[in-house]
Amino acid sequence: MALNQQSCQVFDAVVVGAGFSGLYMLHRLREAGYSVRVYEAADDVGGTWYWNRYPGARCDIESIYYNYTFSKEILDEWTWSSRYAEQPEILSYINFVADKLDLRRDIQFNTRITAARYNEESRNWEIRMEDGTLVAAEYFITALGCLSSSNIPKIKGLDSFKGEMYHTGRWPHKKVDFSGKRVGVIGTGSSGIQAIPVIAKEAGHLTVFQRTPQYSCPAQNHPLEAEEIRKTWENYDETKQQMRYSQHGVPYGPRMRSALEDSPEERERLYEKAWQEGGLFSLTYNYNDIAMVPESNETAASFIRSKIKQIVHDPEVAQKLMPTYYYATKRPIIDTNYFETYNRENVSLVDIKTAPIMEITPDGIKTTDNEYELDVLVFATGFDAMTGPLFKIDIRGKNDVSLKDKWADGAELKTYLGLATSGFPNMFMLTGPQSPSVLSNMMVSIEQHVDWVADCIDYLREHHLEAFEATEEAEAFWSHQCRAIADMSLLTKTDSWYMGANIDGKPRGFLAFAGGVGLYRLICDDIAARGYEGFASL
Ligand code: FAD
């Protein structure tokens, strides 16, 4: 793809993606005076919250912490209606920010980027759109999202289905009518668990096809009063600091105590309290070793299993819903009436681990022991996380090496700070693999990455450094650290999308930095303060 750069537009930076990451990146760079163009496949802003319009979609981090913190003005002008905001409200928030900062004028919508190649002579990135148009930029910044490449498993007969088919991550803009219909939901991850109770209320009959039973705790969602929100942000600077230097990006953390230090009665009391309070971290934050020590983990896991047993009336169904993997080694799930839904007359559960799906037929789903007639099929089958969206673009660095080839072996995936990778100069990956991103409140991770990249670009300009890349030594060190930290926990002991295990044929390897957002920020800041140690100019 040789490029005559006189014939195409050249920007200081091209950003791909107009979700929370891309929008803030645009704002930061534009404020600093750079020419920036954002390309977005959708026809509007929002990213995750544009695409995931399925019934029940909402955030799992408290709304008051799941927003930008870079502008006190934006914070003051917005209010959330409930503890966990629903998708339409989060999308309204993103639109509000895009309007307030007048971001759309630098975003080209309906534009999918298909390739990006580093030109070693011009020291520019050449970026190609789906329609073949090329642009060039000094900096190529991916804001593609960790969870934007939806996964539909390759099941025999998929195209033969005569009814309606949806993926939660590509939900239509108009309401899907389930009333009186026979609906099948495949998948019981976060999205499935949010959607199932809502669909069940409307459907004639709902059949849930479950591969892995999940631990889920009640969200205990409730309306928020404006006063409550105002109070939370009264100590704005302090709250922000607490979030930034925490483990997961929220202004609270685990008690510094092992689950094994408390008596069974005391543990039960604390877990019960946490269950009633609800929230993503409520159970795990009772102790600091739930995700580290198998015996501690089991105390929380068995508590949730006992809750499932209490809630679900049919003992056989309850048994099928009992998870056995280490709790919190997949992203914890919170729900509203998930387990209760299995007490409804119009809901049935099919365990596809014991009776796998053989094929999709024109009329429904055939498993090894039954056939289910369906009018609507909903795939809540998640995403090709982290690397998926990057690999959908043919990204080529120095010597025409493709990123996909460089990372072909998941165990050998190498980045520096999850932000950069050697051989790909002036390319930055917001919330990239081997950063804390998916293990955190993503808003905290997003703001930190954007700020770091914007400061880094300022530094390069100030020091007249045209091109700059991570060194092989630095990325080898970082990648080793990521694996070593993950291996100290139970995170790598479970087949999860953090490990690439949800995608057939995807190489296994832990895809995030598990040391926490606070430690990560300190490391990134330290590297910047040392003149971007671990990066070399070309
Ligand atoms: P995204 O919002 O995914 O945006 C990426 C954008 O890039 C998309 O609009 C996509 O269309 C675009 N894009 C990708 N590839 C291309 C291409 N080749 N060309 C052009 N455009 C492209 N995180 C939390 O912290 N808390 C939560 O409660 C939470 N809930 C979630 C619920 C769901 C259902 C999902 C799927 C994710 C959730 N997340 C949550 C994670 C969420 O993805 C992040 O919080 C955040 O929205 C990510 O923003 P982003 O801008 O980085 O990526």
Average pLDDT of the residues in 271-286: 96
Average pLDDT of the residues in 14-24: 98
* CB-ligand 1 contact for 147 (6 Å cutoff): yes
Residue 519 contacts residue 406 (beta carbons within 8 Å)? no
> 193 CB contacts (<8 Å, ≥6 apart)?
214, 216, 333, 335, 338
**Distance of CA 145 from the midpoint of ligand 1 (Å):** 4
Express each pLDDT in 451-487 by its tens digit. Answer: 999 999 999 999 999 999 999 999 999 999 999 999 9
Write down the pLDDT at residue 234: 84
**Distance of CA 47 from the midpoint of ligand 1 (Å):** 5
Whole-angstrom Cα distance, residue 404 to residue 427? Answer: 15
* CB-ligand 1 contact for 192 (6 Å cutoff): no
pTM reported for the whole predicted model: 0.97
**Distance of CA 103 from the midpoint of ligand 1 (Å):** 18
* CB-ligand 1 contact for 143 (6 Å cutoff): yes
Express each pLDDT in 107-126 by its tens digit. Answer: 999 999 999 999 999 999 99
For the cut 60, the answer to whether the pLDDT of residue 186 exceeds it is yes
**Would the CA dihedral through 280, 300, 317, 368 be positive or negative?**
positive
For the cut 90, the answer to whether the pLDDT of residue 172 exceeds it is yes
For the cut 60, the answer to whether the pLDDT of residue 272 exceeds it is yes
* CB-ligand 1 contact for 60 (6 Å cutoff): yes
* CB-ligand 1 contact for 17 (6 Å cutoff): yes
Express each pLDDT in 288-306 by its tens digit. Answer: 999 999 999 999 999 999 9
CB-count exposure of residue 388 (10 Å: 0-12, 13-18, 19+): buried
Write down the pLDDT at residue 1: 45
For the cut 80, the answer to whether the pLDDT of residue 3 exceeds it is no
Whole-angstrom Cα distance, residue 347 to residue 408? Answer: 42
Site to substitute for ligand 1 among 48, 61, 448, most atoms within 8 A of C-beta: 48
Whole-angstrom Cα distance, residue 471 to residue 105? Answer: 36
* CB-ligand 1 contact for 113 (6 Å cutoff): yes
User: Which ligand 1 atom minimizes the distance to the CA of 50?
Assistant: 9
Atom 3 (ligand 1) nearest CA: 145
Express each pLDDT in 123-168 by its tens digit. Answer: 999 999 999 999 999 999 999 999 999 999 999 999 999 999 999 9
User: Which ligand 1 atom minimizes the distance to the CA of 113?
Assistant: 19
Write down the pLDDT at residue 120: 96
Residue 125 contacts residue 138 (beta carbons within 8 Å)? yes
CA distances from 390 to 1, 139, 291, 433 (A): 19, 16, 29, 10
* CB-ligand 1 contact for 427 (6 Å cutoff): no
